[in-house]
Chain A
Amino acid sequence: MLKISRYVLYDIARNKVVLAYTLFLLLVSLGLFQVEENPSKALLSLLNIILIVVPLVSMVFATIHWYNSYEFLELLLTQPLGRNKVLLSEWAGIGGSLTFAFVAGVGVPVLIYGGSAAGVSLLVVGVLLTLAFTSLAFLASVCSRDKARGIGAALLLWFFFALIYDGLVLLILFAFSDYPLEGITLALSCFNPVDLGRIYIMLHLDVSALMGYTGAVYKDFLGTAAGMAVTLGILALWVVLPLAIANRIFRRKDL
């Protein structure tokens, strides 16, 4: 399995997109830490950029790479290699290289300038988001043979999680503002990895006071060690579940 991943990595290393992504992240992080006096504020700005950029890049890159290496996958499947193995190797190759880019681009500056608990949690969330959106991209890719449709689906998913979902949650909150909604808000945020990541880091940054009563509920539940473990667990589920479904679909697919 590692052997196949190596060839995927080799292919990714040659097309330089991941290198550009690394440099971009490095520049943004270094720039923010240079401009902001307070590393905590810089982390907050960085958070907002990461929550948009990381899912988008992971998703688009993984989808495009999947379709571009379709011939490679087909070739592998005529050899004595199982479908699970091929899919997981491809995932490991893409997810691994994107994780490397994130850790190199954001991790290094964060550890130099703001190596606090918040900084570390930002890295953990960033890595989990990278992998979760790679899995989602795989799910979008295996569902469709058509490249344009696959990339479209990936972009829509990103759009949904990054923008539309928050709007929907707000809509629900307004519509039912007469009722106690804290528990529901908490549950709703579990269905969006981006929200989950944002809340997790916010709690580490002690800005949850700005989030009003809901913030207090978040703090109450998620602020505890158990709550944090649960949050990370759910984020991890966002990595595993889409990949498992994608794997299931891919196993039954006709090539």
Chain B
Amino acid sequence: MISVQHVGKRFRKLQALNDIDVSFEAGQVVSLIGPNGSGKTTLIKSILGLVRPDTGTILFNGRPIATDVNYRRHIGYMPQIGRYPDNMTIGQLFRMIRDLRREETELDEELYFRYKLDTLSDKSMRSLSGGTRQKVSAALAFLFNPPVLILDEPTAGLDPVASGVLQEKIIREKNKGKLIVITSHVLTDLEEVTTHVLYLQDGRVQLHETWEALRKRTGEHKLGRAIARLMEEGTAKHEFLYLKIAN
């Protein structure tokens, strides 16, 4: 469904993405994990067309995303830090987005109501707490019932109840056969839903396999443990290299 082909991106000195070559299919829940600054958000933003890769192409349903922006109507995006016009109220924001995408008929307002955003519709975006802002982002991402959902740190800043609501929602959408890409550092959140694990480090794909295969390979049943083991091996390799150079 989404095919990322040899994508590279450099920000001045930092090689944010280095020859990323992966593809995601419908029905998968991909956990995109990696240490801070490993290129997760850059990869997501490249898929959304917010960051222009230096090399490589990204295909959505077989068509390059650079030529036509309409593919974005099939993606619901929840940013890591939701930034919205300060002087708009929640109600105005939702009305505007719906107005801009009037052709969409089928709306999914479940999160909007479950997060009780309708009762807050007169609140300006400026006055919202981080968590409420996150709820707005989540409700917007699911609003048009898109076949692809890209969620960047969805549970960060949400209280346990809201986080649970979101988890349930993700599972339900997964069962509908949607493609869901999630990044998170709270790995226990991912464990239950994930089907594939994509591990990035320093802008490179270190690992891309199914959660089941990973479980068998590492012998760990917790995603956190499995990843921690991989990370340790990774750093061990680094240290080894360093020692080799130093001596």
Q: Which residues of A contact B (CB under 8 A)?
A: 3-4, 7, 11, 14-15, 68-72, 74-83, 252-255
Whether A252 and B52, one on each chain, are in contact in the complex, defined by CB atoms closer than 8 angstroms, is yes
Binding site secondary structure of chain A: helix
Task: Give the number of residue pairs across the A-B interface with Cβ within 8 Å.
Answer: 57
Whether B101 and A255, one on each chain, are in contact in the complex, defined by CB atoms closer than 8 angstroms, is no
Q: Give the contacting residue for B69; candidates A15, A69, A80, A255; CB below 8 A.
A: A80
Question: Given known contacts A11-B85, A71-B85, A80-B101, is B72 in contact with A255 (CB within 8 Å)?
Answer: no
Chain B positions 37-95 with a Cβ under 8 Å from a chain A Cβ: 45, 48-52, 69-73, 77, 79, 83-87
Q: Does B97 contact A (CB under 8 A)?
A: yes
Question: Given known contacts A11-B87, A71-B83, A71-B85, is B50 in contact with A79 (CB within 8 Å)?
Answer: no
What are 25 A-B contacts with C-beta separation under 8 Å?
A3-B100, A7-B96, A11-B85, A11-B87, A68-B86, A71-B83, A71-B84, A71-B85, A72-B85, A76-B100, A77-B49, A78-B48, A78-B72, A78-B77, A79-B73, A79-B100, A80-B70, A80-B72, A81-B69, A81-B72, A252-B52, A254-B11, A254-B45, A254-B50, A254-B52
A79 to B104, CA, bound (A): 12
Contacting residues, chain A, for B84 (C-beta < 8 A): 71-72, 75
A22 to B125, CA, bound (A): 29
Contacting residues, chain A, for B11 (C-beta < 8 A): 254
Q: Does B232 contact A (CB under 8 A)?
A: no
Q: Give the contacting residue for A79; candidates B45, B72, B86; CB below 8 A.
A: B72
Given contacts A253-B52, A254-B50, 18 further A-B contacts (CB under 8 A): A4-B100, A11-B85, A15-B87, A69-B85, A74-B83, A75-B84, A75-B85, A77-B50, A78-B50, A78-B77, A79-B97, A80-B70, A81-B69, A83-B69, A252-B52, A254-B45, A254-B51, A255-B51
